[in-house]
């Protein structure tokens, strides 16, 4: 259980661990609640990942987890780009019943994300506290997730040497490898590199350096 606060409120915002199961997939890119912040809906920035909303009222306000966290695209209710969704239609009906509500809706509500993939717009009260992971944290996590995973590789190199003992052969091998590292015009050796799944790749360092490759 995490306790979050708002700068302009004494309310206690409680955020429980994210539920698990088919309806609550893990946060994307390996994100966790370690970087979550509580802000009011009108303070949410584009790209922030919305993970929960907090209940109405005062005092202790528990979180209502968002089943599928979404990147925020906040805009005014009047500027909603959707072509009509259930939430917007219900709001239109509510305002048409009493025209004076139009202004009320404009300053009390906003849309955190437009309708997408048959999901309606996310329309919330401007001052409702929500839990978000900031956009810059999300961007870094997305970038890290796109990088190839680090794994253990076995590297083998073999060569034949004429020597009078195993120790001398080892010394000659060491001197040859050392010469590759020290001499700019030396011919780099080939290595057999095996990954964790047993897949072996022959890496020709001379070809790699000429082509500017890194694989």
- Beta-bridge partner residues of 37: 132
- Within 8 A by CB and 6+ apart from 11, the residues are 5, 58, 59, 60, 61, 129
pLDDT of residue 214: 47
**What pLDDT tens digit does each residue of the chain (215 aa) get?**
889 988 888 888 999 999 988 899 999 999 999 999 999 999 999 999 999 999 877 777 889 999 999 999 998 876 677 777 777 777 777 666 566 666 666 668 888 998 887 788 888 889 999 999 999 999 999 999 888 888 899 998 888 889 999 899 899 988 888 887 766 666 667 889 999 899 999 988 766 544 444 44
- Beta-bridge partner residues of 124: 110
Q: What is the DSSP string of 84-136?
A: --HHHHHHHHHHHHSTTHHHHHHHHEEEEE--BTTBPPEEEETT-EEEEE-HH
Please state the φ and ψ torsions of residue 129, each to the nearest 5 degrees.
-70, 140
- Beta-bridge partner residues of 109: 125
């Amino acid at each position: 259980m995490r306790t979050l606060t708002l700068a302009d409120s004494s309310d206690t915002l409680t955020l429980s661990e994210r539920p698990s199961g088919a309806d609550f997939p893990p946060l994307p890119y390996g994100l966790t609640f370690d970087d979550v912040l509580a802000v009011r809906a009108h303070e949410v920035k584009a790209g922030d990942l919305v993970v929960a909303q907090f209940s109405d009222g005062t005092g202790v306000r528990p979180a209502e987890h968002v089943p599928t966290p979404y990147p925020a695209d906040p805009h005014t209710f009047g500027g909603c780009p959707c072509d009509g969704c259930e939430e917007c239609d219900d709001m239109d009906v509510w305002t048409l019943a009493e025209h004076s509500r139009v202004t009320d809706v404009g300053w009390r509500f906003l849309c955190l994300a437009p309708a997408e993939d048959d999901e309606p717009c996310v329309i919330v009260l401007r001052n409702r506290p929500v839990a978000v992971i900031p956009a810059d944290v999300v961007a870094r996590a997305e970038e890290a997730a796109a990088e190839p995973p680090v794994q253990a590789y076995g590297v083998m190199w073999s060569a034949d040497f004429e020597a009078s003992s195993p120790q001398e052969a080892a010394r000659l091998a060491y001197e040859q490898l050392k010469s590759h590292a020290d001499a700019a015009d030396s011919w780099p050796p080939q290595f057999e590199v095996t990954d964790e799944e047993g897949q072996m790749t022959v890496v020709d360092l001379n070809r790699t350096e000429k082509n500017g490759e890194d694989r």
